[in-house]
C-alpha cells in the first residue's frame, strides 16, 4: 500500500466531503415468482447472485459525480440524455442549495443513472433483481404474502408527492438493503421493455399491451397492486425523462 503524506490525505478528505464509498450487499438470488412472468405466461424468473447498493444514490453522491464528470452537469448534458428538468431542484449545476445531501437524488434520467453506476463499476439492476430485492422485509427474503408488507408498500403511494423526500437510511432488510420501498421510485436497466408483447410478430398486440398494462399482460401476483403500479409507471417513461420522485441505485455481479 502506498503511504500518502498527511496534508494530501486531508485534502482528499476535504474534496470527498461526506461521500464515502458506497456499500453493496450480497443477495443470493434464485428462482423468483415475479408479477411479470419471464415468458409472458407463468415462468418464474431466475436471478443470479448479485450485489445491490444498500441505499439509493444521494444528492451528495450525485454532486460528487457531476463534479468529476462535468458532461453530466445540468448545464452541459446533451438533451438526448436528459430532459430539461434534469437536476433542476439543485441551486446550481454544482451546488445543492435546499436539496439535502442525504436525500436520494431525483430528477435524473435513465442515461444519467446508468452513467453514475458505470462510474462505480456497477450497472442498474434489472427489473427482476429490483423486484426480488424489494420483496424482502426485516426477517424474510420474500414477505410479499404478508398483508402487513403490502400495506406498508401501499401506504407510501398514498403519501402526497408534494411532501419533501425523506433522507436515506431506513431500517435494513434481511439482506442489509434499505429504502427499496417508501422513499423514491427507482430506475431499472430494462425499465422500458417490461410490457413489450411476448410475440413480436404481433405489433398491434404489443401496442395494446403497452397501453392497457395490467389488464392486457398476463401478470401473476395480482394482489401486489403496488408492484404493478411500479411497472406501469416505469413503462410509461422514456430514458431521457426525469421526475420529482425518480431516483436509482446500482447493482454489481456477485
Residues near another protein (CB under 8 A): 38-40, 43, 45-46, 71, 76, 78-81, 110-111, 114, 118, 123, 189-190, 192-194, 196-201, 203, 206, 238-239
Nearest distance, CB of residue 107 and another protein, angstroms: 18
Question: Are the C-beta atoms of residues 140 and 134 closer than 8 Å to each other?
Answer: no
Which of 60/234 has CB closer to another protein? 234
Query: From CA 250, how far away is CA 64, in angstroms rounded?
Result: 16
Closest approach of Cβ 45 to another protein, in Å?
Answer: 8
**Cα 175–Cα 66–Cα 15 angle in degrees, nearest 5:** 85
Smallest distance from the beta carbon of 80 to another protein, in angstroms?
5
Single out the residue of 34, 35, 25, 30 nearest to residue 47, CA to CA: 30
Per the structure block, which three cell numbers stand in for 143? Answer: 414477505
- Report, in Å, the least distance between residue 118 CB and another protein: 8
Pick the closer one to another protein by CB: 30 or 182: 30
CB of 176 to another protein, least distance (A): 27
55 or 186: whose CB is closer to another protein?
186
Comparison of 58 and 126: residue with beta carbon closer to another protein:
126
Question: Nearest Cα to 16, choosing from 69, 67, 75?
Answer: 67
Residue 187 C-alpha cell reads as 430506475
Q: Which is nearer to another protein, 25 or 124 (CB)?
A: 124
User: How many CB atoms lie under 10 A from the CB of residue 167?
Assistant: 16
Strand 246-247 versus strand 185-186 pairing type: parallel
Amino acid at each position: 500500500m502506498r503511504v500518502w503524506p498527511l496534508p494530501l490525505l486531508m485534502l482528499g478528505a476535504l474534496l470527498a466531503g461526506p461521500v464515502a464509498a458506497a456499500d453493496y450487499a450480497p443477495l443470493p438470488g434464485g428462482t423468483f415468482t415475479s408479477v411479470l412472468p419471464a415468458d409472458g405466461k407463468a415462468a418464474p424468473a431466475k436471478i443470479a447472485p448479485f450485489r445491490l447498493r444498500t441505499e439509493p444514490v444521494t444528492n451528495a453522491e450525485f454532486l460528487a459525480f457531476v463534479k468529476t464528470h462535468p458532461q453530466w452537469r445540468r448545464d452541459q448534458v446533451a438533451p438526448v440524455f436528459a430532459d430539461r428538468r434534469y437536476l433542476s431542484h439543485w441551486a446550481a449545476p454544482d451546488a445543492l442549495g435546499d436539496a439535502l445531501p442525504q436525500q436520494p437524488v431525483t430528477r435524473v434520467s435513465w442515461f444519467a443513472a446508468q452513467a453514475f453506476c458505470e462510474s462505480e463499476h456497477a450497472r442498474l439492476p434489472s427489473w427482476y433483481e429490483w423486484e426480488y430485492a424489494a420483496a424482502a422485509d426485516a426477517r424474510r427474503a420474500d414477505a410479499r404474502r404478508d398483508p402487513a408488507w403490502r400495506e406498508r408498500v401501499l401506504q407510501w403511494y398514498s403519501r402526497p408527492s408534494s411532501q419533501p423526500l425523506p433522507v436515506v437510511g431506513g431500517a435494513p432488510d434481511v439482506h442489509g438493503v434499505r429504502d427499496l420501498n417508501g422513499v423514491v421510485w427507482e430506475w431499472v436497466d430494462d425499465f422500458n421493455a417490461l410490457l413489450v408483447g411476448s410475440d413480436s410478430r404481433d405489433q398491434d398486440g404489443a401496442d395494446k399491451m403497452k397501453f392497457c398494462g395490467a389488464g392486457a399482460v398476463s401478470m401473476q401476483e395480482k394482489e401486489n397492486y403496488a408492484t404493478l403500479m411500479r411497472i406501469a409507471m416505469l413503462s410509461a417513461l422514456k430514458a431521457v425523462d426525469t421526475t420529482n420522485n425518480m431516483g436509482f441505485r446500482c447493482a454489481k455481479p456477485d
